[in-house]
Amino acid sequence: MPRYERGKMTTKPFSRSYLIVVIGMLMLLSLLNLADKELLAAVAPAIKVNLELDDGHLGLIRSTVFLTAIVGAFIWGPLADRWKRKNVLALGATCWSAVTWLTAYATGFGTLAAARGGMSFFESCFSPSAYSLITDVVPRARRGLILGLLGITYPLGTILALLVGGLVGEANWRLPFLYFGIPGVLLGLAVLAFVREPRRGASEDAVLEAQGVYTGRFSMAELKRALRTRTLLLIYLLDACEGAVFFSLSFWAPNYLMTYRIAPDLLTADMALLPAIVGFVCGSLLGGVLTDRLRGRLPNAAAWVSFIAMAGGFLIALVMFNVFSLTAVMAVAFVLGMTGYMILPTITIMMYDIVSPETKATAMAGDGVVLGLVSAGASAGIGLLSRQLQDLRLAFGGACLFFLAAGAILALIIARRITADMQDQEKLVKSRVA
């Protein structure tokens, strides 16, 4: 597999130990990324009291997080396709961690929204850069497992934020932002020093078979060609449905459990998400491994796994919002996490199966734009509707069920279309191998 070594490209493969270390570093960086993003949810009840905010304010702050990520996507995606992706990761990680540290000094709605927005702007560099980089190192046949491993950092980052937020207590809600700031800066510098930039397209099947080099380069014409692929736009919408559901669950669930007295206090409410988090970890790995196993016989396996995740998640969520015992909610939440989160690795698998290697980062950034818009609307809508109706269950549960149902329909449509687009992409890659 071609790689860069001391500024030049070589055909020697990466060593197994190097791959393990790089994957581990990206997983840690992703873990901090998600933990920083979910810290506000972990201490939201305390912040509401201390800064005199309500659900409407929290919903608007959550929307600010997604909207600034959209702005960042327009910058970081094209930059990662033109510049070294490890440099983008290092710069973004250092900056978002510094802003997370500064969040501890927020004094009201305005400063808190500004800090969360700044953090999100820099964090939006991670997915376009990291996923593009790692899929140029790992062959297509094994991407499901690796993307599943990266996917488990989403729930693990959430649980880390909830655990730290719950343990410090309501009176010390500022401390977690200080705790998470410094490790991110150090890890960003470690990425800059250790990670080597792989050649774009180096792990594509046609390149490996020919033992050649992929010659494609990023251009606006190539980007327009990718964005005209209707299946890619459907994948964006599917990921937006998935993101709206699971970001809403991680943000609103502790507040929901306390509002309806399902959990007696903040620590219990935060810890009640543990079964769901474990389910998320199992689901992400299961989705990746299942897709890898089925792809040999079923080219569009990722789309069918996505359908199972969304359709199954809808049925399970319907049960979860109609039980009010803490034990029952936790049990159902585990099943929801394991079933619904099978979709996480399949989104990236499908996306990179139909876009050219030189547009991976920008295509991922485009996904972030759509996901951010939908998630921002969902977060603000849940908060404002809850304020208007004085019924968080109706607003929160109704939104989750709607997006799960829409995701199931989109997955079915993608399953019918994606095979032809995959064949077109394979032909394109072969034509650009030297």
Task: Tell me if 29 sits within 8 A of 130, measured CB to CB.
Answer: yes
- CA 126 to CA 424: how far, in whole Å? 28
pLDDT digits (tens, 9 = 90+) for 279-333: 988 998 899 999 988 988 888 999 999 999 999 999 999 999 998 898 999 999 9
pLDDT digits (tens, 9 = 90+) for 374-418: 887 887 788 888 888 888 888 888 999 999 999 999 999 999 999
Helix (H) or strand (E) holding 81: helix 55-82
Residue 184: predicted pLDDT = 87
Please tell me the CATH superfamily of domain 12-199+219-431, with its number: MFS general substrate transporter like domains (1.20.1250.20)
Of residues 371, 384, 370, 372, the one with CA closest to residue 60: 384
Task: Tell me if 77 sits within 8 A of 366, measured CB to CB.
Answer: yes
- CA 308 to CA 431: how far, in whole Å? 35
- Angle among Cα 429, 430, 432 to the nearest 5 degrees reads 65
DSSP states of 357-424:
GGGHHHHHHHHHHHHHHHHHHHHHHHHHHHHHHT-HHHHHHHHHHHHHHHHHHHHHHHHHHHHHHHHH
pTM over 0.85: no
Residue 335: predicted pLDDT = 94
β partners of residue 10: 3
- CA 170 to CA 49: how far, in whole Å? 9
The domain spans of the chain are: 12-199+219-431
First to last CA, the chain: 14
Residue 6: predicted pLDDT = 37
Residue 8: predicted pLDDT = 40
Longest dimension (CA), the chain: 64
> Distances from the Cα of 291 to the Cαs of 58, 127, 144, 233, 340, in angstroms?
37, 20, 6, 21, 15
* Token pair of 350 as six digits: 């499908």
Please list the ranges in the chain whose pLDDT falls under 50.
Answer: 1-11
Number of neighbouring beta carbons within 10 Å of residue 341: 30
